[in-house]
Amino acid sequence: MTRQKILITGASSGLGEEMARRFAAMGRDLALCARRVDRLEAVRDELRTSAPGITVAIAPLDVTDHDAVVRVFSELRDELGGLDRVIVNAGLGKGAKIGTGKAAANLATAQTNFVGALSQAEAALEIFRAQKFGHLVLVSSVSASRGLPGSKAAYSASKAGVSALGEALDIELSGTKIVVTTLLPGYIATDMSAGAGDTGPLLATLDEGVSAMVSAIEKESTRVPLPGLKWRGIDAALRFLPTEVTRRFA
């Protein structure tokens, strides 16, 4: 089926903003959430100009506030006249070496990336279970495949939680009309990846990365490292090679 009514969190910049553009070009109706209202309004106005036939609803949202997540998802569902797909994309890339007195960055990352994702899954699946169909998309990371040291430890741990959540829900909902997709992006050029220091030949452009993400979402694949075969290989190496080997790449 065509997932016509799509909710995207973290839609004010980066991957979420670019996914919104791609789905708008496909003629999909969109509900966009983020903390930065001014950026959401700019994205909404842009999409209404580029795709005047679609509906674009927006709402400010902090995904670490569970009551707000439930309320906003419900309100946006009503504004769009239903929800076919929810893309759990909001994330944080802060981090510091654990035990160096900078716990606030690591705790904020864990709270946003995992607890926030769980909160969004709760709200989305409450809607999907009631209507007996839907597509839940969780944006994890290839870093979920093996714990990363140093400043990325909390980030990789939080994304491992997202991946495990996606796997559990996929198993639970198998045989129903509720589909779960977990995306594991590698290095994709965004403001967040730049802040995390992701550089080098493995860094994909935003266009390349989001093209792969949208393709996997539309296929409703189960678990997808991306973009390209190189990240599937890296994911397999991180998951299955002995620690004695993978620690050399840290």
Angle at CA of residue 96, ends 90 and 102, nearest 5°: 105
Let me know: does 234 contact 186? Beta carbons within 8 Å: yes
Q: Shortest CA distance to 15 belongs to which of 114, 105, 109, 93?
A: 93
Instruction: Tell which residue, 211, 230, 162, 148, has the closest CA to residue 21.
Output: 211
Preceding omega of 227 cis (within 30 degrees of 0): yes
First to last CA, the chain: 42
Helix (H) or strand (E) holding 32: strand 29-34
155 is catalytic: yes
Alpha carbon distance 19, 1 (integer Å): 19
Whole-angstrom Cα distance, residue 37 to residue 202? Answer: 33
Cα 179–238–14 angle (5° rounding)? 55
- 114, 155, 187, 231: the catalytic one is 155
CA pair distance 119, 134, nearest whole angstrom? 17
Give the H or E element holding residue 58. strand 56-60
Could you tell me the two tokens for 220? 């409703």
Measure the CA–CA gap between 53 and 4, rounded to whole angstroms.
13
| Active site residues per annotation | 155
